[in-house]
Amino acid sequence: MHFFKRKKNRQQYFQQMTMPWRERLYNVALRQTRTSARAEDWVQETFMRAWQDFDDLADPQAVYAWLLKILDHVIADDIRKEARRQQIAPVISTEELFLQEQHSSYQGPFEQLLQQQTDQQLIKAIQSLPEDFGKVILLRDIEGLSYQELSRILAVPEGTIMSRLSRGRRLLSNILNRSDRQGKLPQTDKTTKGIYK
């Protein structure tokens, strides 16, 4: 409500607060889809909702986390609508990944393997992770947010963030190892993510 008193400043204030985050938000969106058009739609929708709910922004310091949270909802809504998960053909199941998670036999220089991956390959590998794991990696390792911020954005306890991040990074290294041996990235069947609950 307090912003209503300074409505003349509202537009200006909104732009001032959100404009610096546009590009980063766009990149977060871009890393969660295979088409840039879809990322653009998500970003536009996010800023529309942000503008409409601007008065809900309680802590101006946390504007980026707030925008990320809105983006997360926008993406979830969109995915629910399109049920696009159905269209992703499973090549290996995440169950299989988890089985090998405990006894990954790879002993070679992981760092070297990692450096050989192009940025695009890494993004693809993250996208192939079950959604919950990919998201924490994206927000923590790429965006550099704290566990506390992640907890607020995704509305789960910090302990859950930590365990998802642990498993997510482990899965990611398995995927990279595997792709190194097979010469291509696997795609996981995200519809089986229920098994992690």
38 binds another protein (CB under 8 A): no
Could you give the angle at which helices 94-102 and 158-182 cross, rounded to 10 degrees?
90
The yes or no reply on residue 115 touching another protein (CB under 8 A) is yes
Q: Which of 98, 122, 191, 196 binds another protein (CB under 8 A)?
A: 122
Task: Choose one: 43-51, 62-70, 73-81, 184-192; the region binding another protein (CB under 8 A).
Answer: 43-51
Rounded CA gap, 136 and 134, in Å? 6
**How big is the CA angle at 125 (ends 122 and 127), to the nearest 5 degrees?**
110
- Torsion, Cα of 48, 51, 53, 56 (10° steps): 140
Residue 7 interacts with another protein (CB under 8 A)?
A: yes
Look at residues 192, 191, 186, 196 and name the one whose alpha carbon lies nearest to residue 83: 191
Bridge partners for 188 per DSSP = 92
Q: Which stretch binds another protein (CB under 8 A): 67-75, 82-90, 117-125, 183-191?
A: 117-125
Cβ contact 64:21 at 8 Å: yes
Least Å distance, CB 89 to another protein, is 26
Please report how close the Cβ of residue 172 comes to another protein at its closest, in angstroms.
6
Contact 101, 172 (CB under 8 A): no
Q: Indicate the residue among 44 and 182 with the shorter CB distance to another protein.
A: 44
Instruction: Identify which range of 18-26, 64-72, 83-91, 188-196 contacts another protein by CB under 8 A.
Output: 18-26
Residue with token string 């980063």? 24
Instruction: Give the residue, chosen from 121, 169, 191, 196, that forms a contact with another protein under the rule CB under 8 A.
Output: 169
43 binds another protein (CB under 8 A): yes
Q: Kindly report the backbone phi and psi dihedral angles of residue 83, in degrees, each rounded to the nearest multiple of 5, phi listed first.
A: 45, 45
Q: Which residues bind another protein (CB under 8 A)?
A: 4, 7-8, 10-11, 14-15, 19, 22-24, 26-27, 30, 36, 40, 43-44, 47-48, 51-52, 110-111, 114-115, 117, 119, 122-123, 137, 140-142, 144, 146-147, 158-159, 162-163, 165-167, 169-170, 172-173
